[in-house]
Amino acid sequence: MFFDQYNEFVDGDVRSHRGTTRVTAESLTKRCQALLPSWLVKDKTILDLGHCLGAFGHWSLENGAAHYTGVDIQQDFCDKSNELLSKYWTEDKYNIECVETLDFLNIGKQYDIVIASGIIHCYFNSISFLEAVARCAKEVIVIESQESDETDGIPCIQFKIFNMVSPNIGKPYAGWSSAVGFDALRAIMCENGFEMYGERIYPQKIEASHDAYNDDIEINTSNIYAAPKRYMVRYKRTKRIPRTSLQYNVVNNVQKNNPAYVHANKSKIIKGEKWEFDDTVASRFQDEANSNIPDYNRVIDLCQQIADSKFTKESVIVDVGSALGYTVDSFLAKGYTNILGIESSPAMIAGSLHSDRIIASESFPNIPCDFVMANWTLHFVDERKKYIQEVYNNLNNGGVFVLSDKTPQSDIVKEMYYDFKRSHGVSDEYIYEKEKKLQGYMNLLPVQWYLDTLKEVGFSDIQIINSKYGFVTFYCEKNYV
Which of residues 281 and 91 earns the better pLDDT score?
A: 91
Lowest mean pLDDT of 33-42, 169-178, 267-276, 374-383, name the range. 267-276
Distance, CA of 112 to CA of 79 (rounded, Å): 25
Q: SS3 breakdown of the chain: % helix, strand, coil, rounded to 5?
A: 40, 25, 40
What is the dihedral sign for C-alpha 208, 209, 215, 217?
positive
- 191-207, pLDDT tens digit by residue? 999 998 888 888 888 88
- Flag whether pLDDT at 124 surpasses 80: yes
- Flag whether pLDDT at 329 surpasses 50: yes
Contact yes or no for 401/310 (Cβ under 8 A): no
Average pLDDT score over residue span 121-132:
94
Q: What is the pLDDT of the chain when averaged over all its residues?
A: 87
- Flag whether pLDDT at 276 surpasses 70: no
Distance, CA of 273 to CA of 264 (rounded, Å): 23
pLDDT at 130: 97
- Flag whether pLDDT at 389 surpasses 60: yes
- 79-113, pLDDT tens digit by residue? 999 999 999 999 999 999 999 999 999 999 999 99
pLDDT at 107: 94
Average pLDDT score over residue span 392-397:
95
- 298-309, pLDDT tens digit by residue? 999 999 999 999
CA proximity to 131, closest of 197, 185, 73, 56: 185
Contact yes or no for 35/42 (Cβ under 8 A): no
Instruction: Work out whether strand 194-196 and strand 137-146 pair parallel, antiparallel, or are unpaired.
Output: unpaired
pLDDT at 220: 54
pLDDT at 471: 95
Residue 248's pLDDT band, with cuts at 50, 70 and 90, is confident
pLDDT at 221: 44
- Flag whether pLDDT at 481 surpasses 60: no
Residue 225's pLDDT band, with cuts at 50, 70 and 90, is very low
pLDDT at 281: 64
- 5-26, pLDDT tens digit by residue? 999 998 888 887 777 777 889 9
- Three-class SS state of 183: helix
Average pLDDT score over residue span 131-154:
90
Residue 164's pLDDT band, with cuts at 50, 70 and 90, is confident
- Flag whether pLDDT at 328 surpasses 90: yes
Distance, CA of 166 to CA of 187 (rounded, Å): 31
pLDDT at 286: 76
- Three-class SS state of 268: coil
User: So what's the architecture of 2-249 in CATH?
Assistant: 3-Layer(aba) Sandwich (3.40)
Residue 260's pLDDT band, with cuts at 50, 70 and 90, is low
| CATH 3.40.50.150 boundaries in the chain | 2-249, 279-477
- 41-70, pLDDT tens digit by residue? 999 999 999 999 999 999 999 999 999 999
Is this model's pTM higher than 0.85 or not?
A: no
- Flag whether pLDDT at 377 surpasses 50: yes
Per CATH, domain 279-477 is 3.40.630.30? no
Which of residues 164 and 440 earns the better pLDDT score?
A: 164
Cα–Cα distances (Å) from 340 to 111, 242, 448, in that order, read: 77, 68, 30
Counting residues of the chain whose pLDDT is more than 70, the rounded percentage is: 90
Close Cβ partners of 314 (under 8 Å, ≥ 6 residues apart): 337, 338
pLDDT at 268: 62
Which of residues 270 and 403 earns the better pLDDT score?
A: 403
DSSP 99: S
- Flag whether pLDDT at 392 surpasses 70: yes
